[in-house]
């Protein structure tokens, strides 16, 4: 008991000393010692001092440290006493103080949309961010066990945005500032008894989330004209959006979709890719009815479709993946329509596949060829028999892509062989007239693969197995014609490996 009294007295003396240093109370020598000022008054004075020191770099670090020690020394009963002004005044005072603290580590703004601040401009940010994170962490730990839930929900959104800004590996952070920001995020979760970041944003039946508050903080900076002024805004928005899943995303769709569209429309590939990822997440987690409402799905489709003309492989891959999930929201896949359906006329699926095939024919970059080849099989699956409308283009792509090597994994040719198999199954009545050209190219592929020393045994085996599967399907489409042609192959012109592969084809088709 005596030790507790001594510790309490020591903390009160330290608090009084700090208040005196901050010119918020009378000197300690005065007798009798004056009572502590109301917490709202203290918070207001601290806010003024923090704002006043914004242009004095030499004072900011010391002032933030004093705020942290003051909070550490104070008792929770005093820190969260509502006083005569009530909870509303206390909540406003804390929001203002935390805003001032966060402002001490604000990122420099970009001068224009084409340039970013230099590394030197961010030089002081990590140390300030670490100090602010430490002070806020101490404050949140005082919140643990307190019943002021309304206060916490008021200050949690700006604290969350600040923590997310500074725990990412970016030019404005350091290892120490990232670690401090992560500790701050953990303290926020603990104070509010949230299990993780997604729970923090979305909440549950028993506990409210703060997604609306976070969007309130971000919204002024997410307009079409302002989002490029701060490098961190897009990253915080994307982090927030990607944490939110259905059904929590739908009520906020009106506020989440426009920034994602703005990001996807940017000329920089990294911003465009970030926007497309956000759009894809929205497509996956918003109800189809909400996406179709007010023509939202059509707007997303048009925003994505124009990116199919880009030459950035990473952008194309993200766009095609997103379109695969978006198109069923706009229309039924052609493969799901019956033969008598009046909707078998060309649709958006046809528009996308036609453009992809057209781009594939002229493409020579290896990275883009791999992306296109990998995206084609699911589109062929989606089209079903309607792929017959595109057989001429498909055939040209098959012939062209099977001819060109893609070492060491041969990703492109393996995917194209998969396309040939899917096309043969979906459009088998139309494949008989294309057997000659395709058979010739497959035989060339087998001969080339058997003698290619750069290929591993596993890749060579896969190529030959997939080619054999294509030959069997083409034989079925041509009513045994392939088997008859293979029997005429001169064995002296091929390696034993190729002859063995062809023998398995003819043997299986004969059975």
Segment 212-234, tens digit of pLDDT: 999 999 999 998 888 988 989 99
How many separate domains does the chain show? Answer: 2
DSSP H or E segment with residue 461: helix 457-477
Give just the sign of the alpha carbon dihedral 260, 367, 328, 248: negative
Q: In the prediction, which pLDDT does 218 show?
A: 96
Q: Does the structure show a pLDDT above 60 at 146?
A: no
Could you tell me if 511 and 476 are in contact, meaning their C-beta atoms sit under 8 angstroms apart? no
Mean pLDDT in residue range 181-188: 96
Alpha helix positions (H), 104-210: 125-143, 149-166, 175-192, 197-202
Q: d(Cα 319, Cα 264) in Å, to the nearest integer?
A: 10
Mean pLDDT in residue range 339-356: 79
Task: Name the token pair of 30.
Answer: 């005065």
Between the CA of residue 53 and those of 50, 58, 100, what are the distances in Å?
A: 5, 9, 10
Residue 486 lies in a domain: yes
Q: In the prediction, which pLDDT does 510 show?
A: 46
Q: d(Cα 231, Cα 221) in Å, to the nearest integer?
A: 11
Q: Which of 156, 177, 193 is the last residue of a domain?
A: 193
Residues in the chain: 511
Task: Name the token pair of 242.
Answer: 């990607």
The total of other beta-carbon atoms located within 10 Å of residue 428's CB is 15
Give just the sign of the alpha carbon dihedral 355, 360, 362, 368: positive
Residue 260 lies in a domain: no
Residue 264 lies in a domain: no
Q: What is the mean pLDDT of the chain?
A: 87
Q: What percentage of the chain's residues is helix, strand, coil (to nearest 5)?
A: 75, 0, 25
Q: In the prediction, which pLDDT does 344 show?
A: 63
How much of the chain, in percent, has pLDDT values that exceed 90?
60
CATH at residue 435: 1.25.40
The total of other beta-carbon atoms located within 10 Å of residue 369's CB is 22
Question: Following CA atoms 222, 225, 227, 228 in sequence, which dihedral angle do they give, to the nearest 10 degrees?
Answer: 170
Residue 177 lies in a domain: yes
- Indicate the burial class of 22 (C-beta count within 10 angstroms; 0-12, 13-18, 19 or more): middle
Residue 382 lies in a domain: no
Q: How confident is the model at residue 492 (pLDDT cuts 50, 70, 90)?
A: low
Between the CA of residue 16 and those of 25, 152, 220, 388, what are the distances in Å?
A: 7, 26, 40, 84
Could you tell me if 236 and 161 are in contact, meaning their C-beta atoms sit under 8 angstroms apart? yes
Nearest Cα neighbor of 163 from 231, 91, 102 is: 102
Nearest Cα neighbor of 313 from 269, 367, 358 is: 367
Nearest Cα neighbor of 309 from 263, 266, 358, 252 is: 358
Number of H helices, E strands in the chain: 25, 0
Nearest Cα neighbor of 112 from 230, 207, 8, 15 is: 230
Tell me which residue range forms the domain holding 55.
Answer: 1-108+122-193
Q: What is the CA radius of gyration of the chain?
A: 33
DSSP H or E segment with residue 40: helix 39-52
Q: Which of 170, 193, 216 is the last residue of a domain?
A: 193
Angle (CA) 68-8-150 rounded to 5° is: 50
Between the CA of residue 103 and those of 123, 141, 233, what are the distances in Å?
A: 16, 21, 15
Q: How confident is the model at residue 128 (pLDDT cuts 50, 70, 90)?
A: very high
Alpha helix positions (H), 224-295: 233-243, 253-264, 269-285, 288-292
Nearest Cα neighbor of 349 from 312, 389, 296 is: 389
Mean pLDDT in residue range 448-457: 88
Q: What is the DSSP letter of 195?
A: S
Residue 83 lies in a domain: yes
Q: In the prediction, which pLDDT does 338 show?
A: 59
Q: Give the position of tokens 């603290």.
A: 101
Could you tell me if 380 and 356 are in contact, meaning their C-beta atoms sit under 8 angstroms apart? no
Task: Name the token pair of 88.
Answer: 């509303």
Task: Name the token pair of 333.
Answer: 């896949």
Q: Which of 140, 160, 193 is the last residue of a domain?
A: 193
Residue 407 lies in a domain: yes
Angle (CA) 299-300-305 rounded to 5° is: 100
Residue 435 has, within 13 A of its CA and on its CB side, a CA count of 22
How does pLDDT run across 237-265, given as a tens digit for each residue? 999 999 999 999 999 999 999 999 999 99
Could you tell me if 413 and 402 are in contact, meaning their C-beta atoms sit under 8 angstroms apart? yes
Residue 145 lies in a domain: yes
Q: In the prediction, which pLDDT does 29 show?
A: 44
248-264 b/e with 16+ CB inside 10 Å = b?
A: bbbebbeebbebbbbbb
Most confident of 75-84, 340-349, 388-397, 497-506: 388-397
Q: d(Cα 269, Cα 271) in Å, to the nearest integer?
A: 5
Q: How confident is the model at residue 31 (pLDDT cuts 50, 70, 90)?
A: very low
Name residues whose C-beta falls within 8 Å of residue 214's C-beta, 6 or more positions apart in sequence. 157, 160, 161, 201, 240
Q: d(Cα 232, Cα 117) in Å, to the nearest integer?
A: 12
């Amino acid at each position: 008991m005596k030790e507790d009294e001594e510790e309490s007295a020591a903390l009160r003396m330290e608090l009084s000393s700090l208040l005196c240093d901050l010119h918020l109370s009378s000197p300690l020598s005065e007798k009798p010692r004056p009572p502590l000022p109301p917490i709202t008054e203290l918070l207001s004075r601290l806010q003024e001092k923090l704002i006043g020191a914004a242009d004095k770099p030499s004072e900011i670090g010391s002032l933030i440290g004093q705020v942290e020690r003051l909070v550490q020394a104070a008792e929770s009963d005093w820190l969260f006493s509502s006083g005569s002004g009530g909870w509303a005044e206390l909540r406003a005072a804390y929001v203002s103080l935390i805003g001032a603290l966060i402002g001490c580590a604000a990122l420099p703004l970009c001068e224009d949309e084409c340039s970013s601040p230099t590394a030197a401009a961010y030089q002081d940010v990590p140390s300030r961010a670490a100090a602010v994170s430490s002070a806020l962490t101490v404050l949140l730990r005082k919140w643990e066990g307190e019943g002021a839930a309304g206060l916490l929900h008021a200050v949690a959104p700006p604290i969350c945005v600040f923590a997310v800004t500074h725990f990412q590996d970016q030019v404005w952070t350091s290892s120490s500032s990232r670690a401090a920001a992560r500790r701050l995020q953990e303290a926020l979760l603990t104070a509010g008894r949230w299990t993780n970041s997604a729970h923090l944003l979305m909440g549950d039946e028993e506990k409210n989330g703060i997604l609306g508050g976070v969007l309130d903080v971000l919204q002024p900076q997410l307009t079409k004209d302002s989002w490029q002024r701060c490098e961190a805004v897009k990253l915080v928005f994307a982090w927030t959006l990607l944490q939110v899943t259905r059904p929590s995303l739908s009520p906020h769709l009106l506020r989440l979709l426009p920034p994602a569209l703005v990001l996807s429309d940017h000329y920089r590939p990294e911003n465009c890719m970030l926007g497309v990822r956000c759009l894809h997440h929205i497509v996956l987690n918003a109800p189809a009815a909400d996406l179709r409402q007010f023509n939202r799905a059509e707007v997303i489709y048009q925003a994505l479709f124009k990116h199919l003309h880009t030459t950035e492989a990473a952008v194309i891959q993200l766009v095609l993946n997103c379109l695969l999930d978006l198109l069923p929201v706009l229309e039924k896949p052609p493969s799901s329509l019956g033969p008598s359906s009046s909707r078998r006329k060309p649709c958006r699926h046809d528009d996308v596949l036609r453009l992809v095939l057209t781009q594939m024919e002229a493409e020579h970059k290896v990275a883009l060829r791999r992306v296109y080849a990998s995206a084609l099989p699911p589109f062929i699956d989606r089209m079903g028999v309607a792929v017959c409308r595109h057989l001429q283009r498909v055939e040209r792509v098959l012939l062209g892509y099977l001819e060109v090597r893609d070492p060491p994994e041969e990703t492109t040719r393996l995917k194209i062989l998969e396309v040939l198999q899917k096309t043969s199954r979906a459009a088998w009545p139309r494949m008989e007239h294309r057997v000659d050209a395709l058979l010739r190219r497959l035989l060339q592929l087998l001969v080339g693969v058997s003698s290619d020393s750069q290929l591993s045994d596993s890749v060579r085996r896969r190529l030959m197995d997939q080619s054999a599967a294509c030959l069997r399907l083409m034989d079925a489409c041509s009513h045994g014609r392939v088997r008859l042609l293979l029997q005429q192959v001169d064995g002296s012109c091929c390696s034993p490996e190729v002859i063995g592969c062809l023998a398995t084809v003819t043997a299986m088709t004969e059975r």
